[in-house]
Chain A
Amino acid sequence: ETGVTQTPRHLVMGMTNKKSLKCEQHLGHNAMYWYKQSAKKPLELMFVYNFKEQTENNSVPSRFSPECPNSSHLFLHLHTLQPEDSALYLCASSQQSGQGANEQFFGPGTRLTVL
């Protein structure tokens, strides 16, 4: 256990559905991240939140909508997805400080299949 949990672990949805992915960290960290992991490709950073404020959106389509209600919880709301959005979605957290990047702790991921 890394202290980062994600639910659900598996999700199958149609292109017209609306669903949400949830991430929770129990580490007292102040930064949280969403990554997309597709086969044969590097992890792609999607969103970064620092102290609940979104600090990065790496040109992610608007059909992905993040929400960070507090520093321990992170959501990814999904609507009208495409089959190419099928992937493993990973959440991570870290303790950001002025001294540079620190270890990111990853959750187990949500395996998303879009039909």
Chain B
Amino acid sequence: GENVEQHPSTLSVQEGDSAVIKCTYSDSASNYFPWYKQELGKGPQLIIDIRSNVGEKKDQRIAVTLNKTAKHFSLHITETQPEDSAVYFCAAEFSGSARQLTFGSGTQLTVLP
């Protein structure tokens, strides 16, 4: 099955700085890579996703890059704000019959004011 490694497990940045979270995956057939944000007391919410036919996607302060050859993808958050503080999960589609997602272990991002 798919294996997704996520680093770092915790990340603290000053408000206004950038944050980068990295993930690697094992199944070379995976072609869908979403990123989820989970705030305290809530379920994960999709913030951005990328498919294997593109190398980069951007949505305002959030961007994701994908390197299929190296099997890694990254989340970039620029101009961080305190409300960006949350746990972020990467995921990769498992190319099984039900097209499941395999999640990374999460990164606790803290934006210091």
Query: Which residues from chain A sit less than 8 Å from chain B, CB to CB?
Result: 2, 4, 31, 40-43, 45, 48, 50, 55-56, 90, 92, 96, 100-101, 103-109
Can you show 20 pairs from A to B with CB atoms below 8 A apart?
A42-B105, A43-B44, A43-B89, A43-B103, A45-B100, A45-B102, A48-B98, A50-B98, A56-B98, A90-B44, A96-B98, A96-B99, A100-B51, A101-B101, A103-B46, A105-B46, A106-B36, A106-B43, A106-B45, A109-B43
Which A-chain residue is minimally distant from B30 (CB atoms)? A101
Output the least CB separation between A89 and chain B (Å). Answer: 10
A101 B99 Cβ-Cβ under 8 A: yes
Taking a contact as CB atoms closer than 8 A, the residue among B4, B31, B42 that contacts A100 in the complex is B31
A42 B4 Cβ-Cβ under 8 A: yes
Residue count of chain B within 8 Å CB distance of chain A? 27
Output the least CB separation between B11 and chain A (Å). Answer: 15
Output the least CB separation between A34 and chain B (Å). Answer: 12
CA distance A105 to B44 in the complex (A): 8
CA distance A50 to B94 in the complex (A): 16
